[in-house]
Amino acid sequence: MKVTVFGTGYVGLVQGAVLADVGHQVLCVDVDEKKVAALKAGQIPIHEPGLDALVINNQQLGRLQFTTNAEEGVAHSELIFLAVGTPPDEDGSADLQYVLAVAQTIARHMDGPRIVINKSTVPVGTADKVSAVIAAGLEQRGVRYPFDVVSNPEFLKEGAAVGDCQRPDRIIIGTGNPASEAKLRELYAPFNRNHDKIVVMDVRSAELTKYAANAMLATKISFMNEIANLAERLGANVEAVRRGIGSDPRIGYHFIYPGVGYGGSCFPKDVKALIHTAKEVEFEPLLLNAVEERNHAQRHVLFERINAFYGGQLKGKTIALWGLAFKPNTDDMREAPSRNLLEALWAAGARVQAYDPVAMQEALRIYGERDDLRLVDGPLAAVQGADCLAIVTEWQVFRAPDFALLAQTLGDRMIFDGRNLYDPALPASHGLGYVSIGRPAHP
């Protein structure tokens, strides 16, 4: 089948490549000329395991193409995916300007029936807004073509996006139109062979499903961080508690790790947007408010520990930082907890020597060259000449360090671990102080 995808970010590019890989003819459209030029040249602008080969291979086979020409995109196919960004507006609501801009473009250029499939995360009611924009655009042109707007939210995880799109847990299709449903079933048939993963529902429920999923995951994290704070104050060990509750199948082990708070491009903005949606219908979302507040506080915890250790005297200190990305296997630093830590350390007059396996280019893009940030080429280079070490991303490469070497290298022999990577006895046995989340401090 022919497919057009508007937006070649984490969602659009991965989805486009995965659809091409099963044999569909995919044309990806983006307004970012540099990005499209790079993609045409076989350069993949984001880090996502397995994506480079998938894109390049399908490009060479002629099944995956890129353009900035929106008219060409609209003409290419009856099926048009929207996968553009929906960043938070100042009031926390989802900014729909990119989604609605594509809707206008579609109305301007469509020359026959179209099914607009919304993959961006958008508030309940957005499909109606997209429909209204397309209808108004067609009326302005004095033409009539049948069209439908379907909600098909995306659940991929950054860092595992290719596998998630190739083997989705579920495919939500929000539509009341049997013809649209049939087309989407045909499109997704290659991903639906093992057992039926397609869940069809009305458009508004599909739109809400995406927010409910992310809000639930954010709630699990904030809940566990709340328990971690309690554990610290009660002399308990949150890691023991985690294993103790995870063993109950009604709770499960997934997503109950305490840490430095959730980040990334989705959870913070989606929880905020859902709070905003609730308020619009005059409902006070007590639980969601608390999830967000706990997260906000948690993102400052590591700085507070470091600052307390130095008695508020961080000026002139050099902090080694392991991890910049908001989670492992991605270069994404949107709303990353590392940014709260970096900015607080700089404000307190400290310098940072940071290492991340893939996000250093992104850090440079965000912060530029500055005297108080040295980006170095390995975990050991980061600790050279540093007073202490802070860890914010649980990359594999940080999981089994040479503690003896760290003890020799770190001026103040201290590790502040925001991800609970180590058994506290290990650093302690090498004479290192170790502060983690929700566990008794060592020594």
Residue 35 contacts ligand NAD per CB under 6 A: yes
Q: Is 98 in the site for ligand NAD (CB under 6 A)?
A: yes
Say if residues 335 and 269 touch (Cβ distance below 8 Å).
Answer: yes
Residues from 280 through 319 that contact ligand NAD (CB under 6 A) = none
Alpha carbon 268 to its chain centroid, in Å, reads 9
For residues 257-286, which are near ligand NAD according to CB under 6 A?
Answer: 265-266
- Contact between 7 and ligand NAD by CB under 6 A: the answer reads yes
CA-wise closest residue to 210 among 121, 82, 81: 121
From the list 80-88, 166-174, 301-309, 369-377, the region that binds ligand NAD by CB under 6 A is 80-88
Least Å from the CB of residue 154 to ligand NAD? 4
Nearer to ligand NAD, 168 or 379 (CB): 168
- 121: contact with ligand NAD by CB under 6 A: yes
The only residue of 1, 22, 25, 31 in contact with ligand NAD, by rule CB under 6 A: 31
Closest distance to ligand NAD from the beta carbon of 85 (Å): 4
* Distances, alpha carbon 365 to alpha carbons 297, 344, 362, 399, in Å: 27, 19, 5, 27
265/338 with CB nearer ligand NAD: 265
Q: How far is the CB of 156 from ligand NAD (least distance, A)?
A: 5
- Using the rule CB under 6 A, which residue among 3, 4, 6, 438 binds ligand NAD? 6
Name which of 120 and 353 has its Cβ closer to ligand NAD: 120
Task: Pick between residue 156 and residue 388 the one whose CB is nearest to ligand NAD.
Answer: 156
Using alpha carbons, select from 260, 229, 264, 224 the residue that is nearest to residue 244: 224
86 is an interface residue for ligand NAD by CB under 6 A: yes
3-class DSSP assignment, residue 210:
helix
Binding of ligand NAD by 84 (CB under 6 A):
yes
Q: For residues 102 and 194, what is the distance between their CA atoms, to the nearest angstrom?
A: 34
DSSP 17: H
- Residue labelled with tokens 């048939």: 189
Active site residues: 266
Q: Interhelix angle for 267-280 vs 203-234, to 10°?
A: 110
Q: Is residue 156 a contact point for ligand NAD (CB under 6 A)?
A: yes
User: Can you state the angle between helices 203-234 and 126-141, rounded to 10 degrees?
Assistant: 140
> Least separation, in Å, of the C-beta of 59 and ligand NAD?
17
Count Cβ neighbours within 10 Å for each residue of 252-289 and write b for 16 or more, e otherwise: eeeebbbbbbbbbbbbbbbbbbbbbbbeeeeeebeebe
CB of 408 to ligand NAD, least distance (A): 40
- The nearest distance, CB 101 to ligand NAD, in angstroms, is 4
Asked whether position 154 contacts ligand NAD by CB under 6 A, the answer is yes
Please write down the HEC assignment for all residues of 113-172: CEEEEECCCCCCCHHHHHHHHHHHHHHHHCCCCCEEEEECCCCCCCCCHHHHHHCCCCEE
Between the alpha carbon of residue 387 and those of residues 62, 312, 383, 436, the distances in Å are: 54, 15, 8, 17
- Single out the residue of 439, 404, 435 nearest to residue 310, CA to CA: 435
Stretch that binds ligand NAD, among 4-12, 245-253, 386-394, 408-416 (CB under 6 A): 4-12
Of 121 and 340, the one with the shorter C-beta distance to ligand NAD is: 121
Q: Which of 65, 93, 120, 229 forms a contact with ligand NAD (CB under 6 A)?
A: 120
Residue numbers of the site for ligand NAD (CB under 6 A)?
A: 6-12, 29-32, 35, 83-86, 98, 101-102, 120-121, 154, 156, 158, 265-266
